[in-house]
Amino acid sequence: MATTAQLFEEPFDADEYIERLAWRTPGGGSKGGAEGFDPKKLLEEFENHIEELKQLDERIQRKVEKLEQQCHREAKEFAHKVQELQRSNQVAFLHFQELDDHISYVATKVCHLGDQLEGVNTPRQRAVEAQRLMTYFNEFLDGELRSDVFNNPDKIKEAADIIQKLHLIAQELPFDRFADVKAKIASKYHDLERQLIQEFTAAQRRGEIGRMREVAAVLLHFKGYAHCIDVYIKQCQEGAYMQNDVFEDTALLCQRVNKQVGEVFSSPEMVMAKLIQNIFENKLQAHVRETLETRPTELEQYLKNLYDLYTRTTALAAKLTEFNLGSDKHTFLSKLIKSIFSTYLDSYIDMEQQYLQTRSASILQRYYDSKNHQKRPLGTGSIQELKERIRQRTNLPLGPSIDTHGETFLSQEVVVNLLQETRHAFQRCHKLSDPADLPKNAYSIFLLLVEHLCVDHIDYALEIGLSAIPSADAKTANLYFLDVVQQANTIFHLFDKQFNDHLMPLISSSPKLTECLQKKKEVIEQMEVKLDTGIDRTLNCMIGQMKHILATEQKKTDFRPEDENNVMIQYTTACSKVCAYVSKQVERVRRSMDGKNVDTVLTELGVRFHRLIHEHLQQFSYNYMGGMLAICDVAEYRRCAKDFRVSLVLQLFDTLHALCNLLVVAPDNLKQVCSGEQLTNLDRNLLHAFVQLRADYRSARLGRHFS
């Protein structure tokens, strides 16, 4: 293997290098296996290669020494050149300083000479200008304008400059001596001003931006410059309103004109502000007046138009803030909007209240008319009303209850309509009210919603529902009040949602929040009182119906059958009918209520149901088979009680079932049973009362167990 310096370039691996050398040596590798290996040849090859490496190292060392000598020689030459360059640079720097001093000296002389020339030339120019103006003034004094500048239409720009200066001079002259010439100059001044405006107008029609810019620059020093801007603004609007949408047309017009005014006028922001002011005070104000002051006979349309116009105007103003209108463009645009709508916004909330009052009353009246219902006045103080209120708070039969034929007098459609009208009113109130008056206005709308939805509709339906609840001893009872509860609950959820979604954002940071929450709390409490009263009386009616079923279906002989060996029924007919009725009412309660209210009402119903059965069982005397039948009845009542899904009710019926066991237990075991787990905590008198119901109470002398 030839030995060269390239073999040792990075990355170099000594082990790999030795392996490669051994592999290339005949007999030094593993090609022929253990027999083909010849260590002598490998040793000889390594010794020869070491000699080659030594020779290579010597060659490289000589080359390094040669390069080092060359490097030292070139370094000395470079240092010598740098020294020469430094000396040359010092000489050049000295020459540069001398030249800089000389240039400064010449520049000072030139500036001094320039100041002297300017001091001589400025008075000379003023004198020439004064002489020229005096020449033109003499022409006006003689009454004959001979100069070409006044007679050549192409030199109108120069003539304008001259006449503007003469006009200023003429104003300083005494009137009695120069009245005639002053009049001639003023006449020519106005004539040129008119010609320039005409030229500007013609250039605008031709779309010659450059010519418009030139004429506007000349007119800038004339009194008619403002008139020029007015003409420009008027002409910009010609043909701009063709889409029958004044807001869209205005936005497009301002966008087009904004590009042009910067090229024509020296103060484009002033021109744009004047254009927008002109549009607001003329086009927009006329459009608003035409739409609103030809007031629709319906307040609804007027309010919709006002909201739409104000919304679109504020949206247009937001677009116009993109343009340069001066330093305080937001205040400027706000004042323009206020100038248009202030009259209408001052009376807005009164009209909103009037509309809501009328519209809500109309929605309610239309609903009652569709039901052929004449709304009853409540709380009139009449004897009939007094009797009705007494009947509601007691179960005294003061006369027949009102038959509503199953009608709840609550309508989700009516509620949705009322809430929708109020939601629109809140939206208008948010947009059209002054920020300082917003909470107060929103509160007034909320009060109208409370009046018509909560008082005139929900509260009225609750009053009618209460008056329709039959007395507890009625033989037949259609308990529609639970349907009223269900619908009232749904409606109030909708009312609460609107309160949170639409009213709260308007009043959340004002003192009116407390008033609104207090009012809402009062409304809820009033309705809860009536709902509680109605539910209580409805539960009384349910218990009354159960009592009626038991009174008509349960016979004295049910629990003292004559043939004790021939009793085949599992439970009595009265028990079957009561359980069917209870299951139906439990299902109605679950449909009518939600959340914890279901458990609360079912708990109360279950407790009253247990009390009824407990008192009912104590009305009979029981032989052994009668006691077994009573136990079967109570077991069926307990199975029915499971539908309540209330642990207290199930516990009460478990205890009652244990009490019924006292009717059939053997006399000798009676004391042991009374001490059982379920009965040990009960009053001894209660246990004694149940044992007294047994037919063998006296014959078996069972009273001794309680003495």
| pLDDT tens readout for residues 86-130 | 989 999 888 899 898 888 888 888 887 777 777 665 665 555 555
Note the pLDDT of residue 323. 83
Cα-based distances in Å from 191 to 197, 294, 683: 10, 45, 122
Percentage with pLDDT > 90 across the chain: 28
Of 19-33, 122-136, 346-360, 391-405, give the range with the top mean pLDDT: 346-360
CA distance 216 to 324: 20
Q: How confident is the model at residue 595 (pLDDT cuts 50, 70, 90)?
A: confident
Note the pLDDT of residue 145. 60
Largest CA distance in the chain: 159
Note the pLDDT of residue 381. 46
CA nearest neighbour of 609 among 571, 575, 658, 632:
575
CA distance 71 to 67: 6
Taking a C-beta distance cutoff of 8 angstroms, is the pair 483, 555 a contact?
A: no
Look at residue 415 and tell me whether its pLDDT is greater than 80. yes
> Lowest-confidence range among 336-345, 496-505, 607-616, 698-707?
698-707
Fold of 566-705: Methane Monooxygenase Hydroxylase; Chain G, domain 1 (1.20.58)
> Lowest-confidence range among 79-93, 278-292, 376-390, 504-518?
376-390
Cα-based distances in Å from 391 to 402, 467, 482, 687: 12, 8, 19, 38
**Tokens matching residue 165:** 């200066």
Note the pLDDT of residue 649. 94
Note the pLDDT of residue 156. 57
Taking a C-beta distance cutoff of 8 angstroms, is the pair 364, 414 a contact?
A: yes
Note the pLDDT of residue 261. 84
Note the pLDDT of residue 414. 92
- pLDDT per residue over 613-649, tens digit each? 999 999 988 888 888 899 999 999 999 999 999 999 9
Note the pLDDT of residue 350. 92
> Average pLDDT of the chain?
81
Q: How confident is the model at residue 131 (pLDDT cuts 50, 70, 90)?
A: low
Sign of CA dihedral 451, 456, 458, 459: positive
Q: What is the arithmetic mean of pLDDT over 598-626? A: 92
CA distance 589 to 231: 79
CA distance 196 to 157: 9
Note the pLDDT of residue 380. 45
Q: How confident is the model at residue 384 (pLDDT cuts 50, 70, 90)?
A: very low
Angle at 539 between CA 471 and CA 493, to 5 degrees: 115
Note the pLDDT of residue 399. 46
**Tokens matching residue 349:** 């909330």
Which residue's structure tokens are 């319906």? 298
**Tokens matching residue 531:** 């709902």
Note the pLDDT of residue 28. 61
533 vs 707, residue with greater confidence: 533
Look at residue 167 and tell me whether its pLDDT is greater than 70. no
DSSP state letters, 290-324: HHHHS--SSHHHHHHHHHHHHHHHHHHHHHHTTS-
Taking a C-beta distance cutoff of 8 angstroms, is the pair 661, 619 a contact?
A: no
CA distance 217 to 157: 10
Note the pLDDT of residue 598. 92
CA distance 606 to 653: 9
Report the DSSP beta bridge partners of residue 622.
694
Q: Which residues contact 703 (CB under 8 A, 6 or more apart)?
A: 688, 691, 692, 697
Q: How confident is the model at residue 29 (pLDDT cuts 50, 70, 90)?
A: low
Of 110-114, 253-257, 284-288, 602-606, give the range with the top mean pLDDT: 602-606
> Burial code of 33-54, b = ≥16 C-beta within 10 A, e = fewer?
eeeeeeeeebeebeeeeeeeee
Which residue's structure tokens are 């001066």? 326
**Tokens matching residue 387:** 């009797």
- pLDDT per residue over 174-189, tens digit each? 555 566 556 656 656 6
Of 250-254, 384-388, 514-518, 560-564, give the range with the top mean pLDDT: 514-518
> Lowest-confidence range among 81-85, 124-128, 209-213, 458-462?
124-128
> Lowest-confidence range among 194-198, 347-351, 509-513, 636-640?
194-198
Cα-based distances in Å from 515 to 350, 522, 573, 592: 21, 11, 58, 31
Name the residue type at position 563.
D
Taking a C-beta distance cutoff of 8 angstroms, is the pair 67, 58 a contact?
A: no
Note the pLDDT of residue 268. 84
Percentage with pLDDT > 70 across the chain: 79
Q: What is the arithmetic mean of pLDDT over 669-685? A: 82
Which residue's structure tokens are 């202030």? 342
CA distance 541 to 478: 9
CA distance 11 to 534: 99
> Lowest-confidence range among 26-35, 423-432, 673-682?
26-35
CA distance 643 to 617: 22
Taking a C-beta distance cutoff of 8 angstroms, is the pair 501, 536 a contact?
A: no
CA distance 536 to 548: 18
> Lowest-confidence range among 3-7, 382-386, 413-417, 511-515?
382-386
CA distance 679 to 687: 8
Name the residue type at position 345.
L
CA distance 126 to 132: 10
CA nearest neighbour of 506 among 575, 631, 422, 574:
422
Q: What is the arithmetic mean of pLDDT over 547-561? A: 86
Note the pLDDT of residue 398. 47
Cα-based distances in Å from 102 to 94, 106, 113, 116, 541: 13, 6, 17, 21, 124
**Tokens matching residue 319:** 């677009």
Note the pLDDT of residue 41. 77
Peptide bond into 11 cis (omega under 30): yes
Look at residue 360 and tell me whether its pLDDT is greater than 60. yes
Taking a C-beta distance cutoff of 8 angstroms, is the pair 507, 444 a contact?
A: no
Taking a C-beta distance cutoff of 8 angstroms, is the pair 469, 534 a contact?
A: yes
Residue 122 CB neighbours (<10 A): 10
Q: How confident is the model at residue 144 (pLDDT cuts 50, 70, 90)?
A: low
Phi, psi of 694 (to 5 degrees): -70, 140
